[in-house]
Structure 1
Amino acid sequence: MATAAARSIGEPGGERGEFGHGWKVVTAALIGIGCGLSPLPFYTMGVFAPHLIAAFDWSVAEVMAGLMITTFSVVVGAPLAGALSERYGTRPVALISIVLFSLSFMSMALLQGSLVQFYITWGVIALVGSGTLPITFTRTVNRWFDKRRGIALGLAMSGTGVFGILCKPYLAWVIGDWGWRAGYVAIGAIPLVLALPIAWAWFREPAGEAAEHLTAAEKLIGVTKGEALKSWRFWTIALAMLIVSFALGGPVPNLEGILKDRGLDAATILSLTPLIGLSAIAGRIVGGLLLDRFWAPAVAFVILGLPSVACWVLSQGTYDASTAAFAILMIGFALGIEYDVLAYLTSRYFGLRAYSGLYAILYVFFALGSGIAPLVFGRIRDVTQGFGPALLTSAIALPLAAALFLLLGRYPRFEEDAA
């Protein structure tokens, strides 16, 4: 084991040495998460919706309800993926989940007009695809990185934004030439063709010589799941993430409607909405760098609390395109750091001993908040004839929820506890 002095100047365990050993794992995680359950269904549902409505005479609400089905299925699938990762390791769970997620997504091409079939298929997709969520990939990234953990997680998580941006024009091209059934096959094949071979080659737990650079903080030490579940810190993080994910998850799917209500034309709206994905990628990278250099709860408080201003701006009666762009960039930047904060706080406050299981439970709170928010925002819009009250609710909730992170205190010293 390298000494602290040697590690500080870039030997295998040092900051620069971490990426020298772990860049392949980060790359595999980036592509695995990007081709997984987090981005693909949510970024493609809006593209498929008009074709399903035309083919089967379904309503918009009936099609979008598929996303709610995935949320409820993840409530079961995420803890299951976490438990399997702790028992068998993240590599087999991720590899098997990539295959099953790919095949089940492609099976959407077999739809025959039954909403029951549509919803059951979405439930299966989310259940078997839960192993492609950050639950598995971030556990292994955390094991490879300590000093540069924040930026490593940020790079890995940026896959959702990258593939979220790229898959829409790709899908539009496929559907335009070959139809929506081919679209489901084309999107479903991406994990099988791209993520699987890279994960097979590069996604591995550190072992043998590769493990020699790990410090005690990077090894599988920390609290047990039972100890964490009795900790007030765990439930503080859960509550904060539930509120934050709801407050940020409501405006994004309804962004087109919010801007339309404020009088912006279709061309302007089309030019503004991609800013969400671009700023989310920036949020992951910059947020990861900040997490490595500053106390994570303070970073979370600032970045996740600031979109309160954006929600307030969007709730106002009128604003121009530049003001809307500023608000969208602020929301997208915060969306980019959500996953990073959740993974980083879990590893720092509870260690890696029961990381997958604990992250999975916290992810359920995150998924519930972001899953129900679009419908609640839509319902408020129907009742009040505007998104203003919902946006003001988010503006109030975000700084209050972000302030909860400041209660967490200093990071535990698991090295000393283990000794």
Structure 2
Amino acid sequence: MHGSTRTSEIRGEFAQGWRIVAAATLGVGLGLSPLPVYTLGMLAPQLAADFGWSIAQVMGVLSITTLAVVLSAPLTGMLTGRFGARRVALCSLVLFGCGVLSLASSSGSILHFYLTWAFIALGGAGTLPITWTRLVNDHFQRNKGLALGLAMMGSGLFGIAAKPYVGWLIAQWGWRGAFIGLGLLPLVLALPIAFMWFRNPAPQPGDAPAADLPTGGMTMAQAVRDWRFWLLAVALVPISFALGGAVPNMEGILRSGDLSSGTIASLTPLIGLSAIIGRLVGGWLLDRFWAPAIGAILLSLPGLSYWTLFGGPIDPQAAALSIFLIGFALGIEYDFIAFIVARYFGMKHYGTIYGWLYIPFAIGAGFAAPVFGYDFDVHGTYALSLSCSAVALLVCAAALLLLGPYRRFEQQHP
């Protein structure tokens, strides 16, 4: 009977909310979060060849977007709370898509290139998970973790398809055509789906009732006086640094381990695939077990795997396992933050609180790739970055266990 009831609950929430999840999956996958990370590596050599820029200059875009996100994330959260997630997402998809399209007209000025990316990040901040997770968290209560995992799966799907897609665009129309092809994705695919489906649905006849939508929770002022907020803020910087630095540099890490180009090409797609698995399995686990324990276990596993990546020649099987664990942890990271904010701070000011907690996450992930690259330039290996990241993951993931039991917030009606 218990299993039948659980199945009925899942069907009830998803019968009414699957469109929200589908729109969020597409919005996250074709938004600001995954696009520069998964595409710049292929576009950088083309831009460097045409304009004489260094690879480091092109990859500096990641730092530019990080700074812009740091400035815009709290504002995005506040706008989401005031005007609604749907309006913010739709406007941001338009600005983001148009901004990426404009990169096709780059003229060789690195300053203009950076300013364009700054506009893309500021205008596209509403395509970050801050916005998309709002309605998912609102609608889903019993299956919140699974729904968040499905929504955040978009970045993993884009990670799998991005390199073949960009490679095909470059082969057909060059890097300018690649930017056009990338800019059209949010405008042609994500925007119309979000317009139709990214809204709280009205119950349909025959649907099982969804859970009451809680609106209680902390204000931002209350959250910043809570030690849990600062524990998360401090822990997220090294966690996101450790996970975010390895992925853009994975080809270099594997190359320094004496793996062949063919082996590297066959291994790196595991990141996107394992991220998808991590989102689904991690979301399912978050619904059934205490989230800090799940986060502590799954986020610490890549720390153990890093030790296999900097000790000289790398075994291909060990590398595959390590990459899988890194991608799996990346898969649960976003879901975990959204889930934790809802459970410990409530939904009253969810967007604002998530927006501020997104800052340490963005700082860690945004500056990790250049630091990893600098480590290699100076020492010829990634050993220092990987060893520091391993320690950081083990310590900071364990710190999540201090969060304590979930909080309960009273239902608040307008």
TM-score (norm 1): 0.94
Larger deviation: 264-273 or 285-294? 264-273
1:344 aligns to what? Answer: 339
1:246 aligns to what? Answer: 241
Q: Distance in 2 between matches of 1:361 and 1:142?
A: 17
Q: Which runs of 5+ in 1 are unaligned?
A: none
Q: Which runs of 5+ in 2 are unaligned?
A: none
- Asked whether 1:111 is paired with 2:116, we answer no
Alpha-carbon deviation of 1:385?
2.2
Verify the 8 A CA contact 1:29 1:138 in the aligned structure 2: yes
Which deviations, in whole Å up to 9, do the C-alpha atoms of 1:255-300 show, x marking residues without a partner? 1111111111111111111111111111001000000110000000
Which deviations, in whole Å up to 9, do the C-alpha atoms of 1:54-102 show, x marking residues without a partner? 1111111111111110000001121111110011010100000001100
Which of 144, 164, 180 in structure 2 is aligned with 1:185? 180
2:151 aligns to what? Answer: 156
**Cα separation, partners in 2 of 1:416 and 1:121, compared to 1, 3 Å:** closer
Verify the 8 A CA contact 2:27 2:186 in the aligned structure 1: yes
Alpha-carbon deviation of 1:212?
10
- Asked whether 1:281 is paired with 2:276, we answer yes
Alpha-carbon deviation of 1:181?
0.9
- Asked whether 1:324 is paired with 2:325, we answer no
SS of equivalent residue, structure 1 residue 104: helix
Verify the 8 A CA contact 1:143 1:206 in the aligned structure 2: no
Verify the 8 A CA contact 1:91 1:205 in the aligned structure 2: no
**Cα separation, partners in 2 of 1:9 and 1:117, compared to 1, 3 Å:** closer
Q: Distance in 2 between matches of 1:85 and 1:53?
A: 38
2:62 aligns to what? Answer: 67
Alpha-carbon deviation of 1:383?
2.4
Which of 376, 383, 387 in structure 2 is aligned with 1:388? 383
Q: Distance in 1 between matches of 2:263 and 2:144?
A: 38
Which deviations, in whole Å up to 9, do the C-alpha atoms of 1:334-363 show, x marking residues without a partner? 111100100000000011100011111111
**Cα separation, partners in 2 of 1:370 and 1:98, compared to 1, 3 Å:** same
Alpha-carbon deviation of 1:320?
1.3
- Asked whether 1:133 is paired with 2:128, we answer yes
Which deviations, in whole Å up to 9, do the C-alpha atoms of 1:170-190 show, x marking residues without a partner? 221122111211111111011
Alpha-carbon deviation of 1:112?
0.6
Task: Specify the code of the residue in structure 2 equivalent to 1:143.
Answer: D
Q: Distance in 2 between matches of 1:232 and 1:178?
A: 53
Alpha-carbon deviation of 1:305?
0.8
2:285 aligns to what? Answer: 290
- Asked whether 1:410 is paired with 2:405, we answer yes
Q: Distance in 1 between matches of 2:198 and 2:13?
A: 15
Q: Distance in 1 between matches of 2:391 and 2:112?
A: 40
Task: Specify the code of the residue in structure 1 equivalent to 2:367.
Answer: I
Q: Distance in 1 between matches of 2:162 and 2:263?
A: 22
Count of aligned positions: 410
1:357 aligns to what? Answer: 352
Which deviations, in whole Å up to 9, do the C-alpha atoms of 1:88-131 show, x marking residues without a partner? 01010000000110001100011110011000000000000000
Which of 138, 161, 172 in structure 2 is aligned with 1:143? 138
SS of equivalent residue, structure 2 residue 126: helix
Larger deviation: 110-119 or 236-245? 236-245
Task: Specify the code of the residue in structure 1 equivalent to 2:105.
Answer: L
Task: Specify the code of the residue in structure 2 equivalent to 1:297.
Answer: P
Alpha-carbon deviation of 1:373?
1.0
1:38 aligns to what? Answer: 33
SS of equivalent residue, structure 2 residue 61: helix
Which of 77, 85, 91 in structure 2 is aligned with 1:82? 77
Q: Distance in 2 between matches of 1:213 and 1:113?
A: 57
Larger deviation: 120-129 or 221-230? 221-230
Alpha-carbon deviation of 1:45?
0.7
Verify the 8 A CA contact 2:17 2:200 in the aligned structure 1: no
**Cα separation, partners in 2 of 1:417 and 1:101, compared to 1, 3 Å:** closer
Task: Specify the code of the residue in structure 2 equivalent to 1:169.
Answer: P
**Cα separation, partners in 2 of 1:83 and 1:315, compared to 1, 3 Å:** same
SS of equivalent residue, structure 1 residue 146: coil
Verify the 8 A CA contact 1:165 1:277 in the aligned structure 2: yes
Alpha-carbon deviation of 1:415?
3.1
Alpha-carbon deviation of 1:378?
1.7
SS of equivalent residue, structure 2 residue 308: helix
Which of 215, 219, 226 in structure 1 is aligned with 2:214? 219
